[in-house]
Structure 1
């Protein structure tokens, strides 16, 4: 870090306030949706774009800005996202028309990247023992802002008008930009490589089509041409995106890392937690605002109904240190399991406590506590299982998937409320069973997330929030309060000549006790970067399927911040052998290797001594074929390649030759 060092609580407070502002701008328009048709002279369907456009922009911006944060600086991209929020607020407030308000809401969607990028900054900036509490508070800030945004928006609208809701958010965001510039340090942890423009374009298109279909399915009809076309476009774009990302050395989303069991299961849980969380925020105020004519409504005003969400927001603040204590003591997996289970229990209460406002508020508080605990655990699990240079991008994907869950919940709730109705006083209202069904679905989602969380394996690397309590004298010491001693080691994987880059290799760093501390996958240019806890001796192990693994001890001197260390492979792994006939070498024979489904096919001619050498394929079953120099006689056998460095000699006299295809 550079510049003056401010107390950790200042950094934490600044970033947590940024998360609160993001959720404020997302929820500020929700209480006013019934008023916008009158204000702009439009239909309810038209003004619903005020929510939809922000959701779509966030789906596009969050993974892109998060990846750029890992590459070019987390604070820099955080400031960009917040500046777009300010620009959006001013555009909507000054423009004064629906078109300008829509543009402004679109720009505000960039704020979706603030929370994942902010969490990554906390990991880089804070001593390890403080990260859990800070991440918990940052994660809970989304729910806190949502709980405060509902009553605040109603109060501002009643006193100052609809434009003031944008002015207030814009001014607060502008002040926070100044605070970030002054108090938040820039991280030295960077991910080398080039930005994946193709992957960003395809993923943006796929997410836009998917979320547009989800959010508009109830209005356009789930079987309409528009929705079916959007879902088809999603499938096509994802079908192009997945193989592209697997081929890329520096993809927008590292699918190989995302497929690791802890990351994959955590992201699946994120969709379910997002669904379950949003039902609590979306339905509570609607339930309290319904007319008493229904027999279960309370007729609260927008402002009063919003005020009832404040206990939920305060409960999320109180739950943050609790979740941090559980994480530091038992691990983030236990925290996630506990949080999801509490959410499920909360929805059970919500299905029963529907006849009093107090009961509704109690149920909402229980769900909010579980939400805060669960949301605090997910970034920790993600950061403990991805390279430390990719934490912002990985958290951005997790945030995006959580948004898919919230969007799905919104669409499902709207469909249920419109389908299960009752008539009271010649007016049509949602029936009580509709709310109970929504709570049942949300509770089932939380219960499913609990089961998935139980399947998450514990990280083999020390969790990113765990204090280093057992550093022996003479080894790297744990960070002291207010300090961060991490050292980023960057370099390249090189071939035996010391110049040619070796792409796709994996570098793993272990401390002197053999504990993994970080790892990274090299890009197309062979570049890698790992983050070490501090000075001391570390074991670096480099692997690449076409080269024999290498390892070495790296000594990091005290006071170092960035170190350069290239790793050279010495011996290429190949499939070798000799073609013989009656124990005599057969020169000029064609040797081919055909893999399953015609993948990994290779061929080479043996030299005059009958020796051949093929690039070593991945382990599996292959068909080895030899064509004799006459170009007619062939010999075929099935071979199993279970390990690198295999030698297969072929004795042509041991098997029946063929002179053509055998049917």
Structure 2
């Protein structure tokens, strides 16, 4: 085992009096903010071309801008957190989210709105910083349950965010979404500053500016290709150039990082079997989980005449999927217990198995709303188990001074899985359509194919979990729990 959670400073606030429960609650609630920011514009995307007088492709940048800025900022803030303090970088990140939300609420045009969404993208690194901070400041016996709760809060917030966004899109001005996000972010800023202490662990060294620019350029090229491939054409010169550019830049960046004294991402640590396999599993899990968030609302809202839809309204479909978030939070304590007693690898295996079952259930296109909710809940429970296990596996495999950077990279892998799922879902549902009342809609076969791929991704993550060497981590957790 490369690192230990023992011999860490006890939790205290700046005035010397602290509460682990308060810190856990505050940090876990950051996950709700993150998922709200990420999902808040999804139900409104079809309306933004009219609201902002722009083309649909330009409006789609409201998602792309957040994705790209988040992918770049996550590893950067993770490394800065290890160097200068995780709580400090967490506060800066939440401050930028607040600024972005305010800009979105008052945006007079699409340019300012896109800038606000880009600033909100900094939220991608918040969960990684929060989880790493938990490791440093919480009593050892509470780390597992705290990490599980924060991981679950991201999924729970996604379910809540879609429901709230749907309600706002029907009954209020869209700017209230951004105003609400700004108020929540400001509250988080106050709570973190008052109730969460700073970690005393520092990696030191100099910031790798070249490495940061390099990883940013790679991610921009790759994620732009993934997110816009279906719109621009997968074989178009622009998309091919983006992928080739990403490959060339990646080769040059690897050479630089291996020579750098303080790399933005320590590749020698990242290629350790446990870390590498965990990150590969995260990409597959991100793909598998996001299929439900992207496609389940569409199935519930599709007209009954399609043969698979239920004709629900935007808000009703959101309410139908709301139990997913509650189940993810409820099972966070179960995941922590399994990881503490049997090791996080078993938690990962159980979670990915449930995710595979849930996606297979969706692929069969059930004819009942209640069955839809049931299979979605099974998948959500699996996601809660899997995502709570991954940070624990990684934290036991890297030095304490690199946990924020390692968890930020893992967060990036999840977004990569989400982006790939979105791209494939768009490509398949656009290619396989049916005509319903003069309107072209995705066919049931299209949804079945995407969910089958998602089930295969979960199965792949399950296999990786079985091959992940976490015996030492599990043994160490058992000793600490005793």
Q: TM-score range by the shorter chain?
A: over 0.9
Of 317-326 and 419-428, deviating more is 419-428
Which residue of 1 is the match for residue 271 of structure 2? 259
Which residue of 1 is the match for residue 445 of structure 2? 433
Structure 1 position 444 matched with structure 2 position 463 = no
Q: 1:379 to 1:465 in 2, by over 3 A?
A: farther
Correspondent of 1:288 among 291, 296, 300: 300
Which residue of 1 is the match for residue 94 of structure 2? 82
2: CA distance, partners of 1:455 / 1:386: 18
Which residue of 2 is the match for residue 52 of structure 1? 64
1: CA distance, partners of 2:82 / 2:286: 25
Correspondent of 1:379 among 368, 391, 407: 391
Which residue of 1 is the match for residue 112 of structure 2? 100
Structure 1 position 202 matched with structure 2 position 224 = no
1: CA distance, partners of 2:422 / 2:475: 34
Which fold has the larger relative contact order, with Cα–Cα distance below 8 Å and residues 6 or more apart in sequence? 2
Q: Which has the larger radius of gyration?
A: 1
Of 1-10 and 48-57, deviating more is 1-10
2: CA distance, partners of 1:269 / 1:410: 18
After TM superposition, give the deviation of residue 459 of structure 1 in Å. Answer: 4.9
After TM superposition, give the deviation of residue 469 of structure 1 in Å. Answer: 5.1
After TM superposition, give the deviation of residue 160 of structure 1 in Å. Answer: 2.8
Correspondent of 2:247 among 235, 244, 268: 235
Correspondent of 1:12 among 1, 21, 24: 24
1: CA distance, partners of 2:303 / 2:284: 31
Correspondent of 1:152 among 164, 168, 179: 164
Correspondent of 1:245 among 224, 241, 257: 257
Could you tell me whether the CA contact under 8 Å between 1:128 and 1:466 is conserved in 2?
no
**Hey, which bits of structure 1, 4+ residues long, moved more than 6 A?**
none
Structure 1 position 320 matched with structure 2 position 335 = no
Could you tell me whether the CA contact under 8 Å between 1:384 and 1:462 is conserved in 2?
no
After TM superposition, give the deviation of residue 141 of structure 1 in Å. Answer: 1.3
* Deviation per residue, 1:221-267 (Å, 9 max, x gap): 00001101101110111011111111112111111111110011001
1: CA distance, partners of 2:303 / 2:264: 49
The structure with the greater share of residues assigned to helix is: 2
* Deviation per residue, 1:488-530 (Å, 9 max, x gap): xxxxxxxxxxxxxxxxxxxxxxxxxxxxxxxxxxxxxxxxxxx
Correspondent of 2:321 among 301, 309, 332: 309
2: CA distance, partners of 1:469 / 1:76: 30
Q: 1:282 to 1:56 in 2, by over 3 A?
A: same
> 1:423 is paired with a residue of what secondary structure?
strand
After TM superposition, give the deviation of residue 43 of structure 1 in Å. Answer: 1.9
> 1:22 is paired with a residue of what secondary structure?
helix
The structure with the greater share of residues assigned to strand is: 1
2: CA distance, partners of 1:119 / 1:469: 19
2: CA distance, partners of 1:159 / 1:182: 36
Residues 227-626 of structure 1 aligned to structure 2 (within 5 Å):
227-460=239-472, 468=480
Q: Structure 2: any 5+ residue segments left out of the alignment?
A: 1-11
2: CA distance, partners of 1:436 / 1:99: 38
Q: Structure 1: any 5+ residue segments left out of the alignment?
A: 471-663
Correspondent of 1:216 among 228, 245, 269: 228
After TM superposition, give the deviation of residue 5 of structure 1 in Å. Answer: 2.8
Could you tell me whether the CA contact under 8 Å between 1:129 and 1:466 is conserved in 2?
no
Could you tell me whether the CA contact under 8 Å between 1:380 and 1:463 is conserved in 2?
no
* Deviation per residue, 1:636-658 (Å, 9 max, x gap): xxxxxxxxxxxxxxxxxxxxxxx
Give the count of matched residue pairs: 470
TM-score by length of 2: 0.95
Q: 1:363 to 1:461 in 2, by over 3 A?
A: closer
TM-score by length of 1: 0.70
Q: 1:465 to 1:39 in 2, by over 3 A?
A: farther
After TM superposition, give the deviation of residue 94 of structure 1 in Å. Answer: 1.2
Could you tell me whether the CA contact under 8 Å between 1:70 and 1:391 is conserved in 2?
yes
After TM superposition, give the deviation of residue 158 of structure 1 in Å. Answer: 3.0
After TM superposition, give the deviation of residue 353 of structure 1 in Å. Answer: 4.8
After TM superposition, give the deviation of residue 461 of structure 1 in Å. Answer: 5.4
Which residue of 1 is the match for residue 6 of structure 2? none
Correspondent of 2:136 among 96, 99, 124: 124
2: CA distance, partners of 1:461 / 1:153: 40
